[in-house]
Amino acid sequence: MQVRIIRKFAVATDICVFELVSPDGSVLPPFTAGAHIDVDLGNGMTRQYSLCNSPADRSLYRIGVLREVNSRGGSIAMHALTEGDLLEISRPKNHFPLAEAATHIVLFAGGIGVTPIMSMAEHLVRVGVSFELHYCVRDPSRAAFLSQLTEGPFADRVRLYFDNAGEQHRADFKALLRMPELGKHLYVCGPAGFIDGVSDAARSAGWDGRNVHREYFAASQPPLGTQGIFQIRLAGNGRVVDVGENETVIEALAKAGVEVLTSCEQGVCGTCLTRVLSGEPDHRDLYLTDDERSANDRFLPCCSRSKSPMLVLDL
Ligand code: FES
């Protein structure tokens, strides 16, 4: 669907917010807290951005974009856009939904990972569910949405932590997560290292894995390894494709003329999810749950490889 950038403004160092509206002024398709949209940036680049406004507001979609100089170009292309520009986006999708039966929600945001957390906080305060929000950034200049967080309707639930301000200003994940409860759910979003730190603290405090929900914004390191070669068989036509040790399955398939839709290319977003009909994938993504990985019936070919000599894919 097409949207127009009605407003673009800075909310922190290197972070811009874009407000997107329907070009004809009509209401936008509904979304739930934690949802994201795919943005088509042209040149084959698609990037995913979480919606950070209240799901109750159907007049616009608000996204926050961190300009990353070392990125593959998506955030730089986004920051070059201006008010009035038209964009092609997907309808909202949600891989990070709030648990409806939760009695208390603990929200943890690291850096730009605050974007879906803002939407969640807006929703939770509106529907009256108990929650707390912990937001960790390097320093105050990098904290997005500060006035909304410190002066808005849920300011009393928010705690801010600044890594560069010394030990006493950093979040103590273990202390904050020391009391798991049946109806308590944890939502954490941010860089991989941050998510792993929060998740490890929750695990050692005894949180049930089903109550811990994570959304990665980027892998901490390139997932491509240098493991041995293997083969892919395409179930549709029986064709066999070799995957070299320094190429991804996606790249090998592309060479053979088979295109698989991708977005993050880091095993984070799930766009390239592909059914595996036989063989054992070597999962290297951050998207599938442990149970989904064990099933071995789907994998993310942008980053994952194969433990068996051949994988048969539903392509
Ligand atoms: Fe995002 Fe593969 S393209 S997980």
For residues 125 and 154, the answer to whether their CB atoms sit within 8 Å is yes
**Domain presence at residue 222:** no
Q: Which domain holds residue 112?
A: 104-216
Report the residue among 303, 304, 313 best suited for mutation to probe ligand 1: largest number of ligand atoms under 8 A from its CB: 303
Cα angle 177, 180, 183; round to 5 = 125
Per-residue confidence (pLDDT) for residue 290, from 0 to 100? 80
What are residue 188's DSSP bridge partners?
108, 214
78 and 152 share one domain:
no
Tens-digit pLDDT profile for residues 179-223: 999 999 999 999 889 999 999 999 999 999 999 999 987 655 544
**Which of 151, 185, 216 is the endpoint of a domain?**
216
Distance from the alpha carbon of residue 304 to the mean position of ligand 1, in angstroms: 10
DSSP 70-91: TSSSHHHHHHT--TT-EEEEPP
For the record, the structure tokens of 271 come out as: 């766009």
Can you give the pLDDT at residue 227?
A: 64
CA distance 273 to 288: 9
pLDDT at residue number 220: 53
- In this structure, is residue 43 part of a structural domain? yes
Given 89, 112, 146, the domain boundary residue is 89
Any domain includes 97:
no
CATH assignment of the domain containing 67: 2.40.30.10
Q: How far is the centre of ligand 1, averaged over its atoms, from the C-alpha of 53 (Å)?
A: 25
pLDDT score at 224:
46
Output the pLDDT for position 207: 96
* pLDDT tens digits along 263-284: 888 888 888 999 999 999 999 9
181 shares its domain with 241: no
Judgement on whether residues 25 and 84 belong to the same structural domain of the protein: yes
pTM reported for the whole predicted model: 0.80
Q: Tokens for 91, please give them.
A: 């309808």
Nearest-atom index, ligand 1, CA of 269: 1
In a domain, 40, yes or no: yes
Q: Which atom of ligand 1 is nearest to the CA of 300?
A: 2
Ligand 1: distance of its center to the CA of 267 in Å?
4
39 plus 120 within the same structural domain: no
137 and 191 in one domain? yes
Is 243 contained in some domain?
yes
Residues 64 and 158 both lie in one domain? no
Pocket test for ligand 1, best of 265, 286, 288, 304 (most atoms within 8 A of CB): 265
Whole-number pLDDT of residue 243:
94
Residue whose C-alpha is closest to residue 171's, from 158, 159, 156: 159
State the pLDDT at residue 173. 97
Report the residue among 302, 305, 313 best suited for mutation to probe ligand 1: largest number of ligand atoms under 8 A from its CB.
302
Name residue, tokens 């917010």.
17
Query: What's 18's DSSP letter?
Result: E
Residue 95 forms part of a structural domain: no
Nearest-angstrom CA–CA distance, 127 and 260: 40
Q: What is the pLDDT of residue 104?
A: 97
Number of domains present in the structure of the chain? 3
For residue 100, give both structure tokens: 């409806």
State the DSSP code for 69: T
Q: Which of 269, 274, 284, 299 to mutate to test the pocket of ligand 1 (most atoms within 8 A of CB)?
A: 269
Q: Which atom of ligand 1 lies closest to the CA of 262?
A: 3
CATH of residue 176's domain is: 3.40.50.80
Ligand 1, atom 4: nearest CA belongs to which residue?
267
- CATH code of the domain covering residue 240: 3.10.20.30
User: Within this chain, do residues 50 and 115 fall inside the same structural domain, yes or no?
Assistant: no
The verdict on 119 and 211 lying in the same domain is: yes
96 within domain boundaries: no
267 Cα nearest atom in ligand 1 = 4
Residues 198 and 144 in one domain: yes
Query: What b/e sequence results for 182-193 when a residue is b if at least 16 CB atoms lie within 10 Å of its CB, and e otherwise?
Result: eebbbbbbbbbe
Burial of residue 238 (number of CB atoms within 10 Å: 0-12, 13-18, 19+) = exposed
Kindly state whether residues 206 and 110 are assigned to the same domain.
yes
Atom from ligand 1 closest to the CA of residue 301: 2
With a Cβ cut-off of 6 Å, ligand 1 is lined by 262-265, 267-272, 285, 287, 300, 302
Beta strands 310-313; 230-234: pairing state:
parallel
Q: Are residues 195 and 251 in the same domain?
A: no
Residue 108 maps to a domain: yes
Which ligand 1 atom is the nearest neighbour of the CA of 268?
Answer: 4
**Do 243 and 210 belong to one domain?**
no
The length of the chain, given as a count of residues: 315
Buried b (16+ CB within 10 A) or exposed e, 289-305: eeeeeeebebbbbbbbb
**Which regions in the chain score pLDDT beneath 70?**
218-227
Please state the atom number of ligand 1 nearest to the C-alpha of residue 265.
Answer: 3
